[in-house]
Amino acid sequence: MGLFNNIPTDPPIEVFHLTELFNQDANPSKVNLGIGVYQDENGRTLTLPVVRSVEQQMAQDLTLTKNYLKGTGLDAFCTACLKLVLGEQSPAIVENRACSIQSLSGTGAIRIGLDFLYRNGFRTAYVSSPTWGNHDSILQTIGFEIRKYRYWSKDKLTLDIDGFIADLEAAPEKSVILLHACAHNPTGCDPSREQWIRISDTCKSRQLFPFFDMAYQGFSSGDLDQDAWAIRYFGHEAKHELFVAQSFAKNFSLYNERIGHLVGVFESRDIIPKFRTQMATIIRRNYSNPPAHGAYIVATILNNPTLYGEWKNNVRAMHERIHSMRQLFYNKLKQLGTPGTWEHIIQQTGMFAYTGLNPRQCQVLIQQHHIYIMSDGRINVCAITQRNADEVAQKFYEVIT
Ligand code: PLP
């Protein structure tokens, strides 16, 4: 009798399962609107030109070794990333109250940040309803009590700011509030600046801890600084202590390099050395130290004004394509006279559109029309191209009518 004969089978992870089904589908007009990966007009996920040129340079650099990095990561990377998130003139940086820890992409940053909070006494965490599915899974694995704050109004197809604030007001002190810094996944709907200020005020008065998840800096507005506005407001103006988990999967198109970082902003600089020792312990017990390739790439780009400028242009170009595909898809749905209002598709930002399709309609799209879509109706807008837009819109029309 084997020791593992009776282990349970876990349910598949929806987004990866969807991609597997898509890969197995032999239909030539199939479209994968599921996974959140940037694609160009030809459906390819290319290495960014600026990344490719840095990699070519790195290949010639004999000083680069495969030696271990320290657990908390590459210093040149962490210092540059901190400025990218908090801004060049950040008071928290000037006063040495902020620090960055390299992580295994955004997911890794969320994990080590939450591990730190749990081992320091935080027990309750709030996530938006809905949110990226992995938030709940990570929180649950660590042992947090998970609560939801209202976010998306199904009826109004927009942000339920009053529900959001009311739920924060009812939260116990020292709750962790997971916030999407920009380009909310899955709804594509972000608070306005006035609404962020209300959220900040409520977090302050209720003594809640803001933990920003920033997986899409640059994808909401096309501008890296604008997309960091909420974080900077919370950190500089409102003087919150806060965390930011940043991913470079999407905006550097470095998905499989697993590169990101965790930012901590504290009231006092005295916390930083203690925070670093704890992060080193957490990392040591999990994976000891992070991979270096992505860190070298990002550090080289962020620390060189010319390359930095090129990268900004690459980010802007990705944003513009997504934006124009949003408009194209909206136009097609309107031209067909598809029942319902579709303005939300062009009002939302970032990589996703939250269409409002129900799970049954999504199932029909997959099974009968070879259009692969998440069961909550979220679509990756850049999977829409000039070539497939007519057909995708037509299939939407058919399942809705
Ligand atoms: N947070 C959100 C909201 C995301 O959508 C994602 C990726 O899809 C991540 C975090 C983390 O991604 P990664 O671990 O690939 O950086």
What is residue 215's predicted lDDT score, i.e. its pLDDT? 98
Q: What is the pLDDT of residues 289-299, one digit of tens each?
A: 999 999 999 99
Give the closest residue (by CA) to ligand 1 atom 6: 215
User: Is the CB of 106 inside a 6 Å radius of any atom of ligand 1?
Assistant: yes
Whole-number pLDDT of residue 359:
96
Question: In the annotation, is 342 catalytic?
Answer: no
| DSSP 8-state assignment for residue 12 | P
Q: Report the pLDDT averaged over residues 169-192.
A: 97
Q: Is the dihedral of CA 305, 307, 309, 311 positive or negative?
A: negative
- With vertex at residue 103, the alpha carbon angle to CA 102 and CA 107, rounded to the nearest 5 degrees, is 150
For the segment 377-385, the average pLDDT, to the nearest whole number, is 95
215 lines ligand 1 (CB under 6 A): yes
At 98 the pLDDT is 98
Instruction: Retrieve residue 367's tokens.
Output: 């099974």
Distance from the alpha carbon of residue 181 to the mean position of ligand 1, in angstroms: 12
Q: Kindly give the residue spans of alpha helices, DSSP state H, lying in 206-342.
A: 224-227, 229-232, 271-286, 293-302, 305-335
User: Is the C-alpha dihedral spanning 307, 312, 317, 319 positive or negative?
Assistant: positive
Handedness of CA 396, 398, 399, 401 (dihedral sign): positive
Structure tokens at 124: 């309750």
User: How does DSSP classify residue 352?
Assistant: E
* Cα 185 to ligand 1 centre (Å): 9
pLDDT score for 328: 97
Query: Helices (DSSP H) in 37-192: which residue ranges?
Result: 49-60, 75-86, 91-94, 105-119, 133-142, 161-169
Kindly indicate the confidence band of residue 1, based on its pLDDT and cuts at 50, 70 and 90: confident
Mutate to test the pocket of ligand 1, among 104, 134, 179, 255 (most ligand atoms within 8 A of CB): 134
State how far the Cα of 253 lies from the Cα of 321, in Å rounded to an integer. Answer: 15
Q: Which of 213, 229, 311, 342 is catalytic?
A: 213
Structure tokens at 66: 């495969």
Given the residues 132, 196, 311, 342, the one annotated as active site: 132
Mean pLDDT of 21-43: 94
The pLDDT score that the predictor gives to residue 155 is: 87
| Cα–ligand 1 centroid distance for 381 (angstroms) | 16
Question: Active-site residue among 250, 312, 332, 395?
Answer: 250
Tokens, residue 12:
């598949």
Q: Is the CB of 185 inside a 6 Å radius of any atom of ligand 1?
A: yes
Question: If you take atom 8 of ligand 1, which residue's CA is the nearest one?
Answer: 36
pLDDT tens per residue, range 153-180: 988 889 999 999 999 999 999 999 999 9
- At 244 the pLDDT is 98
The whole-chain average pLDDT of the chain stands at 96
Identify whether 204 is a catalytic site residue.
no
CA distance linking residue 120 with residue 308, whole number of Å: 37
Give backbone dihedrals phi and psi of 247, rounded to 5 degrees, phi first: -110, 140
Model confidence pLDDT, tens digit, residues 65-123: 999 999 999 999 999 999 999 999 999 999 999 999 999 999 999 999 999 999 999 99
Q: Does residue 182 have its Cβ closer than 6 Å to ligand 1?
A: no
Q: What is the pLDDT of residue 351?
A: 94
State if residue 32 touches ligand 1 by the CB under 6 angstroms criterion: no
pLDDT of residue 34: 94
Q: What percent of the chain has pLDDT over 90?
A: 98
